[in-house]
Amino acid sequence: MFVGEYSHNIDAKGRVIIPAKFREQLGEQFMITKGFEGCLFVYPMDAWEELAENLSKLPSNQKSARHLQRMFLSGAAEAEPDKQGKVLITAPHREHAMLTKEVVIIGVSKRVEIWDAQRWQEYIQSEEEMTVEEAAESLEEISF
């Protein structure tokens, strides 16, 4: 399970260090794709395969299903950290997440998210309006 929050910088070549704690769980190869709220999702291969399988089961006659399939699958790229733990963030991924220099890398259960540091702070501040209790309440319908 991925948990925690780490701050790093993207170098001039578009590479960022994945925290060692996350690298151990991600393995030698993992997938990076465009995520929600303007971040990147990073999945270990087993979780990625599970997600891809679930996406393939969505009904292709529904526009929202097709959109999710396209967003996650067309926006995916395989990544391998180098010996220093750096991984290349592709230009389309940097553009999607508006990554400039400072990034925040967070653990979110089965995935890692990569955020532009400023956007992460803006997201945290905007979500403070909803309490944890309100969020949990809204998830009651799925038996949270």
What is the full per-residue pLDDT of the chain (144 aa) written as tens digits? 999 999 999 999 999 999 999 999 999 999 999 999 999 999 999 999 999 999 999 999 999 999 999 999 998 999 999 999 999 999 999 999 999 999 999 999 999 999 999 999 999 888 766 676 777 777 776 655
Query: What's the pLDDT at 137?
Result: 77
The reply to whether the predicted model has a pTM over 0.85 is yes
Query: What's the pLDDT at 129?
Result: 67
Distances (CA, A) of 105 to 6, 90, 101, 143: 5, 16, 13, 29
Query: What's the pLDDT at 142?
Result: 62
* Inter-residue contact 8 to 100 (CB < 8 Å): no
DSSP state letters, 103-144: EEEEEEBTEEEEEEHHHHHHHHHHHTTS-HHHHHHHTGGGT-
